[in-house]
A and B are shown apart, each in its own frame.
Chain A
Amino acid sequence: DGGITQSPKYLFRKEGQNVTLSCEQNLNHDAMYWYRQDPGQGLRLIYYSQIVNDFQKGDIAEGYSVSREKKESFPLTVTSAQKNPTAFYLCASSTATGEETQYFGPGTRLLVL
């Protein structure tokens, strides 16, 4: 089946620790996105990538980093610089051209110990 997978479903972070969230898609989509969702708020864009080896900061990139070495993969690292990392993280992908719809993965819930 084609789709987007995220792992793990739940992730715990200790103080001062970097953690990496995985996002993989087999939809042959060029564009990939990371969003953060907090209770009572809309999705906020962290980073996005429209092509391999290129990515751009979104609205709330501070404390996060990404890489796009392969078309299928767009991992997100939550660094120790992100002081309030507890949230639901959603990865999405879309075709890069035309009036594309973004399709979402199942999400990773990050909790701080």
Chain B
Amino acid sequence: GQNIDQPTEMTATEGAIVQINCTYQTSGFNGLFWYQQHAGEAPTFLSYNVLDGLEEKGRFSSFLSRSKGYSYLLLKELQMKDSASYLCAVRDRYNQGGKLIFGQGTELSVKP
């Protein structure tokens, strides 16, 4: 089966750096996605990793280690508007034709 774990909640200070971890177990890994979701709104795409290493996009970076079944999302220079839920999702080619499996999300609170 598949399993995705990420912390339920995290708190950080404005201007700081925060790392949100995601571990997964899947038999046919075929890519990992990070989404940001503000309360009551749709998830918006942040990043995609399919090979090991770091992908950087402005203040956000995402890292993947396939051998460890591990990813993290790094947010730098935190702003109040970064307070949101961050969803880790994995594509498994053996699961319903490669559909996404989502973790429960990590609720990030940014304090002044």
A and B held together in a complex: yes
- Interface residues, chain A, CB within 8 Å of chain B? 33, 35, 40-45, 48, 50, 56, 58, 88, 90, 99, 101-107, 109
Count the B residues whose beta carbon is within 8 Å of the partner chain — how many? 25
Q: Can you list the 4 inter-chain pairs with the closest CB atoms, starting with the nearest? A: A42-B102, A104-B42, A43-B102, A42-B104
- Which residues in window 44-81 of B have CB below 8 A to A? 44-45, 48, 50
**Binary contact readout B31-50 vs A (1 if CB under 8 angstroms, 0 otherwise):** 10101000011111100101
Q: Are B31 and A42 in contact (CB under 8 A)?
A: no
Q: Does B27 contact A (CB under 8 A)?
A: no
Chain A residues in 8 Å Cβ range of B97 = 50, 56
Question: Which among B30, B42, B50 is the interface contact of A90 at CB below 8 angstroms?
Answer: B42
- Known contacts A48-B99, A58-B99; A106/B41 CB under 8 A: yes
* Min CB gap A87→B, angstroms: 13
Question: In the assembled complex, how far is the CB of residue A26 from the closest CB belonging to chain B, in whole angstroms?
Answer: 16
Contacts of A88 in B (CB 8 A): 40
- Give the docked Cα–Cα distance between A101 and B35 (Å): 10
Alpha-carbon separation in the docked complex, A45 to B40 (Å): 18
- With both beta carbons as reference points, the residue of chain B lying nearest to A96 in the complex is identified as B97
Is the beta-carbon distance between B50 and A99 smaller than 8 angstroms?
yes
Q: Is the CB–CB distance between A107 and B42 below 8 Å?
A: yes
A42–B99 touching, CB < 8 Å: no
A107 to B100, CA, bound (A): 18
Chain A residue at minimum C-beta to C-beta distance from B88: A42
Query: What are 27 A-B contacts with C-beta separation under 8 Å?
Result: A35-B102, A40-B8, A42-B101, A42-B102, A42-B104, A43-B43, A43-B102, A44-B102, A45-B96, A45-B100, A58-B96, A58-B99, A88-B40, A90-B42, A99-B31, A101-B33, A101-B45, A102-B33, A102-B45, A104-B42, A104-B44, A105-B42, A106-B41, A106-B42, A107-B40, A107-B41, A109-B40
